Structure 1
Amino acid sequence: MSLESVRAFFASKAPDIDVIVTDASSATVALAAQAHGVLPAQIAKTICLRVGERTMLVVTSGTARLDNRKFKDRFGSKPRMLEAAEVIEATSHP
């Protein structure tokens, strides 16, 4: 997924949301918060997980932590974070 495809998606699905691009790194919650001048809790982070054969994206607050016990109780298995190559394969985006 390219930047242009992300912009096109938001333009069609949520035109009131702006796509903001910075030269600063957003590789971590702390860096993203610094780049945008907000608190880490105000950053939305995406976690790509595998549970058995299912792949899911979880979007949460930048400071939230995944509770493995609650996750396992809800989904029947402990989640496994995908490797970078698996994320690209599943989402077409790094």
Structure 2
Amino acid sequence: MSNNKVRTYFENHGLGDRVMTFDESSATVELAAKAVGCKPQQIVKTLTFLVKDRPIMVVCAGNVRVDNPKFKDYFGQRGKMIAPDLVLGYTGHEVGGVCPFVVKDEVFVYLDQSLKESEILYLGAGDAHSLVKLSLKEVETHAKPKAWVDVCKAMA
């Protein structure tokens, strides 16, 4: 179970108390915000794509969506999301708990500028019933991003 790997990772970094487990699902922005009692933009979405056959993660605020022209400008191709049944194999995490921590070596992580709107963020922690609470700086430290990007826009 990838939640155990994520929990162990944060325990090893002195942040084990930041991993929260819920009886109810926290798999969507709405469910997670309700479970934590925060604003939707504080919930982080980790979206998985294939770019030139490489799995990537775009980590963004819960109140935005990928802007296809911006994505294409940055990555050189249209965004092709990884099918839900393949996400675990590519990333090591199941849909609903995908996070940019303890991912497979071939996965590149990109942090979207939308994250900078909130100082405290809640990210999936490996399964659909877990979240981890981190500061923006901690997200950057532990996600080990390849780059910061600007590929999202506000939801209509």
Tell me the TM-score normalized by structure 1.
0.88
Q: Which runs of 5+ in 1 are unaligned?
A: none
CA deviations over 1:32-74 (Å, ceiling 9, x no partner):
1011111111101110111221210111110111111011011
Amino acid at match of 1:61: A
SS of residue matched to 1:48: strand
RMSD of aligned residue pairs (Cα, Å): 1.4
CA distance in 1, matches of 2:15, 2:89: 29
| Aligned-partner residue type, residue 32 of structure 1 | A
Shift of 1:2: 2.6
Q: Who wins on radius of gyration, i.e. which is larger?
A: 1
Q: Which has the higher contact order (CA 8 A, sep 6+)?
A: 2
Counterpart position of 1:16: 15
Give 1:15's aligned amino acid. G
Equivalent pairs counted in the alignment come to 93
CA distance in 2 between counterparts of 1:26 and 1:49 reads 21
Shift, 1:86, TM fit: 1.4
Q: Which amino acid aligns with 1:89?
A: G
Instruction: Name the amino acid aligned to 1:20.
Output: M
Q: Distance in 2 between matches of 1:75 and 1:3?
A: 30
Give the aligned partner of residue 73 of structure 2.
Answer: 73
Aligned to 2:31: 31
Following superposition, which runs of at least 4 residues in structure 1 exceed 6 angstroms of deviation? none
Report % sequence identity.
43
- Which protein has the bigger helix share? 1
Q: Given the two structures, how large is their TM-score scaled by the length of structure 2?
A: 0.55
